[in-house]
Each structure stands twice: as C-alpha cells, then as structure tokens.
Chain A
Amino acid sequence: MGLLTQLVRGLVRGADRVSPFTSKRGSRSHNKGRGAKKLGVLTRNKKFILVKEMVPEFVVPDLTGFKLRPYVSYRAPEGSEPPVTAKQLFDQVVAPRIEKDVKDGTFDPSNLEKYGFEPTQEGKLFQLFPKNYVR
C-alpha cells in the first residue's frame, strides 16, 4: 500500500528495490534456501550423511482431557504471578522433608543428597550451571 502511494506520487519509479530477494524470485536455476540448518555432514565424496541426533523430534504428550486451549476468554482478569524463586521452591519442597526428618531424629547433615542436593553437575543430562538446555 505504501509502495503504491509512492508510485502514484511519482517520487520513485521502477521496480521495488527494497523487498528481500527470496527463493521465490530469480530464475529457475537460481537455487536459494530459506535458512534451514544442515542435519548432517557432507563427506569428501559429496555424499551427505544424516546424523539422527540432529533431526528434531517433537515429544508430544497425550492431550486428552487437557483443559487449557490456545486462547483465553476475555472474561479472565489480567495479571500474572511473580516468578518462583529458589527460596520459595526450597520452602515448598525441601524444607518440609528436612523438618520431618529432624523431628524423627533421622537428619544426617552429611547425607543431603536425599533432599535433592547435588554436589556436582557432572554426569547429569540437564546441567543447571553451565546451563545446557534451552528452556
């Protein structure tokens, strides 16, 4: 629409020089991709070997009986909850267990792994620091 006004006003004449040159334009021999990542390795014999780990796989749970839907009704009030802090998580999950053990008398300060303490992040698939997962 803005381009048309410019054309009609006679300020710019000719083709549209600003729009991106995609794979839909150009001749049929002009081979251009759209930025897809390579999912494997190209060998010296120009054969492409697919690496299965690089192929994305969607892990979708069974959504029968799931109540949340893409959109929210206009009646629901706006607002958000503050994000959960580490202290809150500790108070909700770990503190009750420690209190129970202290009352029973079975609290062992050298065995904190049973409450979720992790001395190192080595050997874990999803390490918290340095964070090696996207979310």
Chain B
Amino acid sequence: MRLSALLSAARPRLPPGYRHGMWPPDSMAARLRNPPGQRRRKVFVEPVAKDDWKVFKGDTVQVLAGKDAGKQGLVTQVVQARNWVVVEGLNTHCRYVNRTAKYSGTYITSEAPLLLSQICLVDPEDRKPTEVEWRYTEEGERVRVSLRSGRILPVPPQPRQDGIVPEQWIGEWDGSEGWGDVAGDTGGQHCPLTCTDGPKDTSEEDALAKTYRPSLKTFEEEIMDAMGIVETRRPKKSYWY
C-alpha cells in the first residue's frame, strides 16, 4: 500500500486542458471524465497565487450568496484550480446515486461547490465574516490576520495526502481479534490491513528506543570487531596533486 502511495505522490503533470472537478485527479471518476486527447472549453478562473490562498479544509466560512446565504459552515473540500470551496451541508441539491436497471437509486443530498467570491472567512471569536490577509508575526511566522479586529486565524491542521490519521492508527494487530473494534475506531479506513502495522513495520517503542552507545571507533571498525574480521593488509600509498 505504501509503494502505491509513493508512486501516486510522484504523479506526472496533468495535461494542459484538464478539467478539474470535485474528485481527486488520480481517481476513476477523473479518468472517466478526462480521457486522453479530450479538449474541452476552457474554464476561466480568477487567478489567485498559491501563496495567497486563504481558505483551507476545516475552516469555518460564511456563505454570502446563493440559496444558503448568511449561513456558516465547515469547509470539507478545496479545489484551488477552480477557486472552489465545498462547505458541509450548505448549497445542497438532491440527486440519485447507484442507479441500476431495476433500482431507481438512493436519493441523497450533495453539496455544490462555491466560488471564493461567494465565501468569506469568519473571525474565530466574533463569528462574524471578515476580510483576511497574510501577515508575518514578530517571530517571523506567516499567519492569517483578520483586517477588522486584528485577530489571528489559525490554519486548521491539514489531513495527510494519503488519508492516514496517525491518531487512529493501531499498532500491532493480531488476526485473532474481530473486526468490530477496528471498524468503529477508524473514520474512513475499515479494513484493519490499511490502519494497522504490518510485519515490516517497526513499532513505535522500538523506533524511539535509543540504543546508540558512543565510542571512538568508526562504524566499520566496530563491525570488524563484532564479526571477528582481521585485516592486516594496508593499501599502498598513493599521491594526488
């Protein structure tokens, strides 16, 4: 699993006409909707520099326009390429999923993305919408500062790219225990193989154990002593200028 994660992290560049959606770029849906050689009409997006991006996953934002104008919600997804922000439970519409020939499908509510111009960050104490700017603190840390009140908006802790939550990671897991405790504990990962240590994983205690004994011998000399290798030959002297 980790090797595929490494390979996907080193993914190639997206083609220039790629149409971004709410899906991750290396998923089945992306491949279906962006077959190689497809050329679609270009989507024009207000250019925002990567350093200037202010809205992150886990932020509270207020919706300014649309059906749910005036309501606040948590950001669940951000698509920088299209200036999109998906807020949980707001700007929703209902649709059918998992339709088959016989079954009409499950009717679910799904959120539509909102543009940056329809969104406003919210002051953490006031809980009122504010304009936000990137500024530097006395220590030199780059933080988001609300222009109205001057309070710092801390960036919420971002989830890992591979979706693993280290707090929910289980250490050694025997196959003998049932799946009941695993499925309830972890959020997205249900199979214990994807959220437990495998046979090639060092446990946390072993990894943090300090076993270094300082000595004046070099690494090679210590190994020769340990293995009982005796080397009396010496290399011939050579000179370089």
Contact = CB atoms under 8 A, between A and B. Distances in A.
Interface string B111-152: 000000000000000000000000000000000000000000
Interface in A96-135: 116, 123, 125-126, 128, 132-133, 135
A92 to B, nearest CB: 5
B214 A72 contact: no
Main secondary structure of the interface of A (DSSP, over half): loop
Interface in B1-29: 2, 12-13, 15
A73 B223 contact: no
B226 interface: yes
A21 interface: no
Contact of A68 (B166, B202, B226): B202
A89 interface: yes
Q: Give the contact-size bracket for chain A.
A: 20 to 34
A61 B204 contact: no
Interface stretch (B45-53, B59-67, B76-84, B228-236): B228-236
B12 A2 contact: yes
Contacts of A74: 164, 166, 169
Contacts, number: 81
A77 B36 CA distance: 41
Interface in B200-240: 200-204, 206-209, 214-216, 218-221, 223, 226-227, 229, 231, 234-235
Nearest to B15: A5
A123 B201 contact: no
Contacts of B226: 61
Contact of B215 (A4, A5, A93): A93
B88 interface: no
- Secondary structure at the B interface, as helix, strand, loop or mixed, is loop
Q: Which of B164, B203, B215 has its CB near the most chain A CB atoms (within 10 A)?
A: B203
Interface of B: 2, 12-13, 15, 36-37, 164, 166, 169, 171, 197-204, 206-209, 214-216, 218-221, 223, 226-227, 229, 231, 234-235
**A-B CB proximity, top 8 nearest:** A8-B37, A67-B206, A116-B216, A74-B169, A76-B207, A69-B202, A92-B214, A76-B204
12 contacts: A9-B37, A67-B209, A69-B201, A69-B202, A71-B202, A74-B169, A76-B202, A92-B214, A93-B214, A133-B220, A135-B219, A135-B220
Interface of A: 1-2, 4-5, 8-9, 59, 61, 67-77, 84, 88-89, 92-94, 116, 123, 125-126, 128, 132-133, 135
